[in-house]
Each structure stands twice: as structure tokens, then as C-alpha cells.
Structure 1
Amino acid sequence: MSTPPVRVETGSDPELAVVTVNHPPLNLYDRDLHTSLNEAVTALEQQRPRGALFRAEGKVVSGGVDVRETFLPLAQTHDVEGGRRYFAELVELGERVHLLPFPTVFAAHGLTLTWAFELALACDLIVAGESASFGLIEATVGLTPAMGGTQRLAERVGQGRAKWFVMTAGRFGAAEMERWGAVDRMVPDDEVETVSRELARSLAAGPTQAHAATKEILRELAVGGLGQANARTAEIAGALFGTEDLRGAMDSFVEQGHGKATFTGR
């Protein structure tokens, strides 16, 4: 039995799920990876850890998509409906990652092209090594990104820079991406694994339902603007007063001071 291209592990810390892409030599997106990534996200939805780290094995995070397998047959037969169905699956997959009710961190240790960067943008935070680079290069084959990457990049850096990034189909280094706000933290290459794991582990140990509320309020902002986010904030944040974590953290604050509370995710 072959090893799946994507695996989900918890290891010694059951609260943190680690999602690893290992599809050598270049972690190209093909049907096997598509199926395996869907299964991995389903596992996260069912297991409901308190945090997740997305990472990849190999010299690169991904060299992009296996065009010969995925897009070429559709292009050769002018299969518009087939293309729509496939892209609908990709959009749904990115949205499912975006909607996970716990913090998600993406570790980019090297070249991160197309679907891999779109997956990173669907996560909450991106940690990148100094030599990492990023690209949405679909325009080179007459396509546009279809996992939600264009719009999520625009949310981070603005429409002008998103258009530049996508339309030029260039590759952009981690330092520039951090300056733009597309990458949240750049670290030395040999620290990517440690920093990203520690960040994900720290978030997973935090107030899980409060983190979920933060994500929900920001989604309201993205969908309906400041007015809609403000209208929903009291309901979303107010519900936290019914959680065990808030009650325990308040007791801890009164008894021990700030920063001493521990959380269970309930």
C-alpha cells in the first residue's frame, strides 16, 4: 500500500495536528494529492484539534501543478464544464481550510508556487524562511488562480499588488512578501520548522473558542465590511462568557495575575 501524499499526525501533542505534504520530487498538485488533501481536511474537521500546522517535505514546498494530468486534458477537449467542476472543488477546499474553527499556521521553507501558496493564504498565519519564494504563475498557461488565492492575497496586500502578483506571474521573495504583509513572519531558513511548530503549538494551547471568535469576526468584516463586523461582534464575543476557558482564565487572573491561565478549549 502506497503512502498518501498528505498525512495528518498529532504525535506527542494531541491538541496540535501537523499536516505534511510529501509527494516527491516536487510536491506537484495532481489527482492523488487533491484527493489526499481533501481527506486530510476532512480529518481536521472531524477530529477538531485545537490548532494545525501545514508543512511540506522536500527541497521545495511545491513546484506547482502537474499540468499534464490536471489541466491539459481539459484544455485539449475544450471541456468548460469539467474545468468549472474542478475549480469548484478547489475553491471549496480552500474555503474549508479557511473556515477551520481553530488557528492554522503554514510553514514555507522554500519555493511555494500556485496551489501551495493558495493553501498558505487560506491559513491564518504564514511563516517563511529567508530563501523561500512565492508565485501564482497560472497566467503562464492561460489560467488564473482558482483556490481562492487571488482574493485572499488581495485581502492581505490590496488589489493593486494582488493584480501585479498574479498578472505578472512572477516569483517574489520572502522579504518582499513580508514587507507587503503577505507573509506574517520571516525567519532564518534553519528556524522555519522550529518557529512554525512553536507558534502553532502556542496557539493550540490558547483559548480555542476565543481564537475561533476572532476568525469569525474577521470573516464578517471580509464579507460585509466594518458595519457588519460591528453588528455581529457582541453576539460572537458575548458567547465566550459561556465557556469554561473564560471562567477559568478570569479566576486565574484574580488569583495569580496576568498570563498564568491555562486553557482546555472548552
Structure 2
Amino acid sequence: MTEVLLERPLDGVALLRINRPEAKNALNAEVRRLLAEHMSVLGSDTSVRAVVLTGNSEAFAAGADIKDMAEIGAIELMLRNNHLLWRTIAQCPKPVIAAVNGYAFGGGCELAMHADIIIAGENASFAQPEVKVGIMPGAGGTQRLVRAVGKSRAMWLAMTGQAISGTEAAAMGLAARVVPDDQVLETALDMAKTISRMPPLAIAQIKEVMLAGMDAPLDTALMLERKAFQMLFASRDQKEGMKAFLEKRKPVYEGL
């Protein structure tokens, strides 16, 4: 059975499930390859308007597969070019929601941070424990974590390997919402459904401008926002949305 399952639970919504329950969904080379492959395809699929990424009730993803890493050298690791797979996931133009139950350790925490929105179960467990095995986060953990929770908390988490609950993750700003464990996937799918009914061009521009603007000077980021805002007035969806508002009816967005 494939180690990443693709489902279409709702119109306009794709669901990716990491499927290595025997290894707590640890991210081996095949899982990373399949995630990148699916994200690339879904990113260009006009029928998909939102993607939900999840694992199972025990683990979102319990980190990298240590057995696969223990004896390799620096050059072999470099030649694997794993950063290209992570980049493909990060660059998916569709909104991505991570539905996190159980362990999100190491690469699993980094994978969740590649998503645009994280929905966490109350008893989910987030950690960057790489320091405990002699290394450090290597798939964006130091950079995305500090942007999500600030320098002091990011330093604490990365330097101690301390795990935090879903409730703590939400309080820090790492997760957007925390819900009872049995409601995580339902909440993520409901959010994806809501987003899928929004105008796709506006959603794409919101994601692109927010991500690009985070690391730009404020004046540059505001310019990007202004240009994207203006460009959307050339879309049919803008005309439809405003006309529907004035006519007191639900808009029908085409992504045009």
C-alpha cells in the first residue's frame, strides 16, 4: 500500500494522509517523494481549491526515519537533495491545512509548519528534538519556528527538544486552532470547504503576498499587497463577488 494516500472527501478539497502507522508516520525518502509529487500535481489541478494534510490519531509524523540517517555521511546527505522535495511542498500555490493529532516531531513539526494553517488536537505533541541525537532541525525548523513563535520560544524548543501540547502550540501561535482530538480532521475539512468556496485567485494572491511579504521590508510588502489587490479587479470573480453582495445572493466563483 502506498505510504501517502490521496482522497477527495469534498468537492474542491484534496486530503493527503501519511500512511506509515508501523513507524508512526516517520518521514522516509518515499514519503517525502510522494508528498512532493502530490503537492506538485494538486498545485496545478484547477479542480482543487484547498489541501488538507494529515496522519492518523497516533501521529501526524514522528520525524525523520533515524534508521535511514544514522550511518550516512555529509556528502551522501547533500546529494539526496531533500531540500528540493521540501521546497516543492512549500511552494504549492493552493492553501494547505495541516490536521495534527499525536506526534509532530522533528520533520513532522517542520512538515506541519510548511502548511499555511495548523489545526491541532488538544493532545497533539509538537517538538524539534533533533538536538537529542546530535544534530539540529534541517528542514526549516529553526527558521519557520522562530517566525511562528518568536526567538526566545524557538530557541527553547530547538535547544532542549522540549515537546509542547496542541493547546500550548495554539497559545504560542504555532497552531491556528486547537480542538478536541476527535474533531481535528473534521475541523480541518470544514475549514478547507469554506476556503474552497472563496475566489481562487484572491486566495492564491493572499497566500503569495503573505509569504513573500513576511521577509520583505514593510514598504516592499505593502507594494506587493497593493499590486495584487489592484490586479484582482481584472478578474471575473471580483465582479461576481461584488454583484452577488449587492443582489443579496451567494456568489459563484470560477477562478477567472
Name the structure 1 match of 2:195: 203
Name the structure 1 match of 2:209: 217
8 A contact 2:104–2:126 mirrored in 1: yes
**Shift, 1:173, TM fit:** 0.8
Report the more deviating stretch, 220-229 or 197-206: 220-229
- Output the CA distance in 1 between the equivalents of 2:57 and 2:245: 44
**Shift, 1:167, TM fit:** 1.0
8 A contact 1:220–1:228 mirrored in 2: no
8 A contact 1:93–1:147 mirrored in 2: no
The partner residue of 2:88 within 93, 96, 99 is 96
8 A contact 1:103–1:204 mirrored in 2: no
TM-score by length of 2: 0.92
Q: Given the superposition, is the C-alpha separation of residues 12 and 126 from structure 1 closer, same or farther in structure 2, using an over 3 Å criterion?
A: closer
**Shift, 1:58, TM fit:** 4.8
- Output the CA distance in 1 between the equivalents of 2:92 and 2:52: 12
Residue 125 (structure 1) aligned with residue 117 (structure 2): yes
Matches within 5 A, 1:1-266: 3-13=1-11, 15-25=12-22, 26-48=24-46, 49-69=48-68, 71-74=69-72, 79-86=73-80, 88-89=81-82, 91-256=83-248, 260-266=250-256
TM-score by length of 1: 0.89
Provide the aligned length of Structure 1 versus Structure 2.
254
Q: Given the superposition, is the C-alpha separation of residues 93 and 196 from structure 1 closer, same or farther in structure 2, using an over 3 Å criterion?
A: same
User: Which consecutive residues of structure 2, in runs of 5 or more, have no partner in the other structure?
Assistant: none
Q: Which amino acid aligns with 2:35?
A: L
Q: Given the superposition, is the C-alpha separation of residues 183 and 265 from structure 1 closer, same or farther in structure 2, using an over 3 Å criterion?
A: same
**Shift, 1:247, TM fit:** 1.0
**Shift, 1:147, TM fit:** 1.6
**Shift, 1:157, TM fit:** 1.0
CA offsets 1:205-236 (integer angstroms, 9 cap, x no match): 21211111111221232231312101222222
Identity %: 28
- Output the CA distance in 2 between the equivalents of 1:147 and 1:137: 13
**Shift, 1:56, TM fit:** 1.0
- Output the CA distance in 1 between the equivalents of 2:222 and 2:174: 25
Q: CA RMSD in A?
A: 1.7
SS of residue in 2 equivalent to 1:139: helix
